[in-house]
């Protein structure tokens, strides 16, 4: 049976992140108890990592995992399968800060805490050279107790995009005039920095997009050369405005929304929300809405909307050759929560794309992470998909931030 990863490397390592890695006990490949279509296989390559958030895979297949909470004092794990048998046999930990964002870009590994973006120089094998002295690329980002994660994207022009979520659900308490939200200058949006300049702050950034309550899943689409983002919707309609809404309304709305973003885009939070059934932007009750009044047409329309409360935590555009052709350039989404009305969630979904736009309905690609019947649950979910990454062979990796499991999904059927 596959066992938990053992306690790994100590804080003194200052050379390559996988130089001097500690071996783990040799185990056999374990098939993951999740549902995937015929021709696909899901295996567990690591477990018991803790709060494994976003992940990135290098050209050798090593997996970098960012942790939301420190494990043995470290916030980044490097997992290596040195003999290619599908089982992690070397591990390394470094970075003394928790967080979510992590990605490999060229000769660097970028990782974020809830206030700061760091980068580490990589060697020719894309292993970190010096784990103790990362460069500070961005500092001073707003952090509050709620929704503090700072996910990252880098485009081909070496622009670094950082999403900063709002710590307020609807900006009702912060708005002094009931007409404007003062938080939008530093949260609820995406800021663009240089990926190659140190010690940047808000003052150095372009405020690339606004009106996005909380973005965890966003990615650059190489096919269309555009930035895409998934928004977590607000909640608590009926709790604050029972004269307009009941609990059933709050369970169904607002949609989780999918946007293509350009410089200056405004998705409208907190002034509007999206009704996925009417395909309409509606005015938020904090700013004069009653569940029927339509919102201002000036705000950006989503390219797709998903049921409420699914919690899209990662977005990946698939560019590999392993999976069948239907998946090429399409979008995988990790849903971290569930729709209580549909009894679906805690899954990886897929959206087909053509010419840079969705070309069909979304579907569930990998399911059963929760380990319970969502229609008649007996206890809490056991695993929650959070991060996505594509391996050099085209495999899809999924992280779980409940038990710290890393899944690998491969295809062996006919393309």
Task: Summarize the confidence of residues 312-341 as an average pLDDT.
Answer: 97
> Is the peptide bond preceding residue 270 cis, with omega within 30 degrees of 0?
yes
pLDDT for residue 2: 30
Do residues 256 and 278 make contact, with C-beta atoms less than 8 angstroms apart?
Answer: no
Residue-wise pLDDT tens digits, 117-131: 999 999 999 999 999
Residue-wise pLDDT tens digits, 230-247: 999 998 899 999 999 999
pLDDT for residue 6: 33
Residue 86 confidence (pLDDT) above 80: no
Distance separating alpha carbons of residues 38 and 60, to the nearest angstrom: 27
pLDDT for residue 27: 60
pLDDT for residue 9: 28
* Residue 252 backbone dihedrals phi, psi, to 5 degrees: -100, -20
Do residues 66 and 54 make contact, with C-beta atoms less than 8 angstroms apart?
Answer: yes
Task: Summarize the confidence of residues 63-91 as an average pLDDT.
Answer: 93
Considering only the top CATH level, what class is 26-411? mainly beta
Q: How confident is the model at residue 13 (pLDDT cuts 50, 70, 90)?
A: very low
Residue 77 confidence (pLDDT) above 90: yes
From the number of C-beta atoms within 10 Å of its C-beta (0-12, 13-18, 19+), residue 30 rates as middle
Residue 28 confidence (pLDDT) above 80: no
Mean pLDDT of the chain: 92
In three-state secondary structure terms, 9 is coil
Task: Summarize the confidence of residues 148-168 as an average pLDDT.
Answer: 97
Work out the percent of the chain whose per-residue pLDDT is above 90. Answer: 85
Residue 305 confidence (pLDDT) above 60: yes
pLDDT for residue 24: 52
Residue-wise pLDDT tens digits, 238-274: 999 999 999 999 999 999 999 999 999 999 999 999 9
Question: What is the residue extent of each domain of the chain?
Answer: 26-411
Global pTM value = 0.93
In three-state secondary structure terms, 346 is strand
Residue 12 confidence (pLDDT) above 90: no
- Which of 86-95, 143-152, 204-213 has the highest average model confidence (pLDDT)? 204-213
- DSSP category for residue 233: P
Residue of higher predicted confidence among 147 and 231: 231
Distance separating alpha carbons of residues 187 and 141, to the nearest angstrom: 9
Task: Summarize the confidence of residues 175-187 as an average pLDDT.
Answer: 94
Task: Say which residues have a Cβ less than 8 Å from residue 43's Cβ, sequence separation at least 6.
Answer: 29, 30, 31, 32, 86, 407, 408, 410
């Amino acid at each position: 049976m596959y066992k938990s990863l053992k306690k790994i490397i100590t804080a003194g390592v200052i050379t390559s992140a996988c130089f001097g890695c500690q071996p783990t006990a040799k185990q056999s490949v374990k098939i993951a108890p999740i549902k995937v279509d015929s021709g696909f296989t899901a295996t567990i390559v690591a477990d018991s990592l803790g709060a494994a958030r976003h992940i990135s895979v290098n050209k050798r297949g090593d997996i970098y995992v960012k942790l939301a909470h420190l494990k043995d004092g470290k916030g980044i794990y490097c997992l290596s399968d040195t003999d290619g048998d599908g089982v992690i046999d070397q591990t390394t930990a470094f970075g003394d800060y928790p967080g979510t964002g992590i990605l490999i870009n060229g000769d660097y590994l970028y990782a974020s805490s809830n206030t700061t973006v760091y980068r580490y120089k990589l060697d020719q094998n894309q292993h970190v050279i010096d784990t103790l002295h990362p460069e500070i690329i961005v500092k001073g980002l707003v952090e509050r107790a709620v929704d503090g994660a700072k996910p990252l994207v880098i485009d081909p022009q070496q622009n670094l995009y950082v999403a900063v979520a709002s710590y307020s659900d609807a900006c009702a308490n912060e708005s002094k005039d009931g007409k404007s939200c003062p938080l939008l200058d530093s949260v609820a949006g995406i800021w663009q920095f240089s990926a190659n300049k140190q010690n940047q702050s808000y003052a150095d950034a372009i405020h690339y997009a606004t009106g996005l309550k909380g973005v965890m899943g966003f990615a650059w689409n190489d096919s269309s050369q555009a930035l895409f983002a998934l928004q977590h919707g607000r909640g608590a309609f009926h709790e604050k405005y029972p004269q307009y809404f009941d609990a059933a309304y709050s369970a169904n709305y607002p949609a989780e929304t999918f946007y293509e973003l350009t410089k200056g885009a405004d998705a409208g939070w907190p002034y509007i929300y999206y009704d996925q059934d009417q395909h309409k932007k509606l005015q938020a009750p904090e700013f004069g809405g009653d569940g029927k009044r339509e919102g201002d047409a000036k705000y950006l329309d989503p390219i797709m909307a998903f049921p409420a409360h699914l919690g899209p935590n990662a977005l990946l555009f698939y560019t590999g050759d392993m999976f069948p052709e239907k998946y090429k350039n399409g979008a995988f989404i990790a849903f971290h929560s569930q729709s209580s009305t549909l009894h679906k969630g805690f899954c990886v979904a897929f959206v087909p794309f053509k010419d840079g736009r969705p070309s069909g309905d979304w579907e569930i690609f990998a399911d059963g992470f929760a380990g319970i019947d969502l229609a008649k649950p007996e206890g809490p979910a056991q695993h929650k998909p959070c991060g996505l990454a594509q391996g050099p062979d085209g495999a899809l990796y999924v992280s779980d931030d409940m038990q710290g499991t890393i899944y690998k999904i491969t295809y062996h059927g006919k393309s």
